[in-house]
Amino acid sequence: MKDSDSLKDYRRVRRLAIRSLFEIIEQSSEGTVIVDKQARIVWINERYAKRFGLQDAGQAVGQPCEQVIPGSLLRQVASKGQPILLDIMDTAKDPLVVMRLPIHDDLGEVIGAIGFTLLDELHALCPLLKRYLSMQQELASTRSLLSARQARYSFAHFIGTSAPTLEVKRRARRSASADSPVLLQGETGTGKELLAHAIHNASPRASKPFVSINSAAIPETLLEAEFFGTAPGTFTGTDRKGRAGKLQLAQGGTLFLDEIGDMPLPLQSKLLRVLQEKEYEPIGSNQMIKSDVRLIATTSADLKAAIKRGEFRADLFYRLSVLPIQVPPLRERLDDLPALSEAILEELRSQHELQPNAMNVLAQHAWPGNIRELRNVLERAALLSDDLLLDAHEIRVAIGTLMPVDAKVPDTSQRDCLETYSQARQRFDRQLIQAKLVQCDGNVILAAQQLGLGRSTLYKKMAALGIAESQ
């Protein structure tokens, strides 16, 4: 046989092979589509057309490929001439394994592209698809979890330009650059949690989780498991497989402990070990887990008084208060009232504004519930007013019982000079709650709303102070 005949045979065999390959893939694939240089569909088989909702394959001819097949990359292949040999394309039904190849003319110029869907016949790809779907589910779950565990506030949300506010921001910003524990102290409603979010967001751990836990909101029997997690088999039922604790969820990020003064003593000692040794054991496990978390704690209680009463560990207090920040009450930063009021009304999406005399009334109140109470008052006044300009009378009505700013300093001339800070605070809280209950005719829910407290929080305070509900 001559060389030319051999060459002719090669071309003939090549053409036959290409034709056979096309027919085999087209027949065994879920779908085949061909587009021209402009990515307009030239041909599509019936199976593929029906998959995308067309009764007749001819309806697709001449249409842009993306209009018939959402997410198609054939335009990219036809434009660049680069094949995509194996890819996963998401569709409304199921993901498809696809192959995309450019089509060349006799001169080697790209004149279009062809795509094959290989899902149904390539059984060997089933493990790959299962793994892909599993990874997609895990990714969606992780994104949801990370979104839920991200700090929401920055220092811009801690509104005010008064001297006490600027000092708090200065100390908080400085603490953000360190990795030491931070203890935020102050009355309820002053914005301690907001500052904790801001410190995390300004720290090198900002991209990591921000995990919070309220020591007062979780039963003591469950608090340890909430912190440290449980090993598989520790409990029966839903936790039988084990459960990650907040320390594990916060790994690499920040663990925020709200109202740490309410933490039980046994758990305080275990938390101290975590801070000192940087390791812990899940409940029911003998395995030590390394801990890499930054701790931010808040308290509205007098921890030094709690130490004297034996309710809080002194060594834990000193370990936590490396960077203590005292968050001032609203009555000590009354210059921030205009900016705070404007921000709160904007957050409430209210069109209301405050007249100067209304602002004067706000400045006369001692705000025992702090910013939380201010928000409550402004929201109530906006809901009750038919006028977009809130005046002094409307604000006074919304406040209820006006507590003069001077009332915050108790008259100690007739009192025992040995009264402690904790005792004085309890007396103040008792008088305030009793007066509010009398004003609300014993309605605890209404009293809680006007004090800017949660109902359960007010009930706890009443029980601790020995105040009967009938009051």
**pLDDT band at residue 8 under the 50/70/90 scheme:** low
Establish whether domains 155-326 and 412-471 are of one fold.
no
CA nearest to 308, candidates 416, 423, 220, 214: 423
Cα–Cα–Cα angle for 306, 460, 270, nearest 5°?
45
CA distance 233 to 422: 44
CA distance 318 to 336: 32
Q: Which amino acid is at 408?
A: K
200-215 pLDDT tens trace: 999 999 989 999 888 7
CATH architecture of 330-409: Orthogonal Bundle (1.10)
401 DSSP 8-state letter: S
236-293 pLDDT tens trace: 554 466 788 888 889 999 999 998 988 888 889 889 989 898 988 888 887 888 989 9
The mean pLDDT of 380-393, rounded to a whole number, is 90
CA distance 37 to 113: 7
**pLDDT band at residue 371 under the 50/70/90 scheme:** very high
The mean pLDDT of 349-378, rounded to a whole number, is 91
Q: Is the pLDDT of residue 413 over 70?
A: no
285-308 pLDDT tens trace: 878 889 899 999 999 888 999 898
Distance in angstroms between the alpha carbons of the first and the last residue of the chain: 115
Q: Is 234 exposed, middle or buried (0-12, 13-18, 19+ CB in 10 A)?
A: middle
Contact in structure between 143 and 170 (CB atoms under 8 Å)? no
Residues 6+ apart with CB under 8 A from 276: 319
* DSSP percent split of the chain into helix, strand, coil, nearest 5: 50, 15, 35
Q: What percent of the chain has pLDDT over 70?
A: 83
Query: What pLDDT score does 5 carry?
Result: 53
pLDDT, greater one: 219 or 438: 219
Q: Is the pLDDT of residue 408 over 90?
A: no
pLDDT, greater one: 407 or 449: 449
CATH architecture of 412-471: Orthogonal Bundle (1.10)
CA nearest to 190, candidates 360, 326, 363: 326
Cα–Cα–Cα angle for 181, 196, 166, nearest 5°?
100
Query: What pLDDT score does 174 carry?
Result: 93
**In whole numbers, what is the pLDDT of the chain averaged over residues?**
82
Q: What percent of the chain has pLDDT over 90?
A: 34
Domain layout of the chain by residue ranges: 3-125, 155-326, 330-409, 412-471
Helix (H, G, I), strand (E, B) or coil at 182: strand
Helix (H, G, I), strand (E, B) or coil at 183: strand
pTM of the model: 0.58
Q: What is the DSSP string of 272-333?
A: HHHHHHSEE--BT----EE---EEEEEESS-HHHHHHTTSS-HHHHHHHTTEEEEPPPGGG-
Residue 239's Cβ-side half-sphere holds a number of Cα atoms within 13 Å equal to: 14
Helix (H, G, I), strand (E, B) or coil at 214: strand
- CATH number for the domain running over 155-326: 3.40.50.300
Query: What pLDDT score does 126 carry?
Result: 61
Q: Which amino acid is at 216?
A: A
Residues 6+ apart with CB under 8 A from 220: 264
Q: Is the pLDDT of residue 129 over 70?
A: no
Backbone torsions φ then ψ of 212, nearest 5 degrees: -115, 150
| Helices 337-347, 356-364: inter-axial angle, 10-degree rounding | 110
Q: Which amino acid is at 296?
A: I
How far CA 246 is from CA of 216, 237, 257, in Å, comes to 15, 20, 10
CATH 3.40.50.1370, applies to 3-125: no
Query: What pLDDT score does 200 carry?
Result: 93
* 123-152 exposure pattern, b = at least 16 Cβ within 10 A, e = fewer: eeeeeebeeeeeeeeeeeeeeeeeeebbbe
CA nearest to 117, candidates 58, 38, 51, 18: 51
**pLDDT band at residue 128 under the 50/70/90 scheme:** low
Query: What pLDDT score does 373 carry?
Result: 92
| Unique residue bearing structure tokens 């995390």 | 200
CA distance 233 to 249: 20
132-190 pLDDT tens trace: 666 766 666 555 555 545 667 888 899 999 999 999 999 999 999 889 999 999 998 99
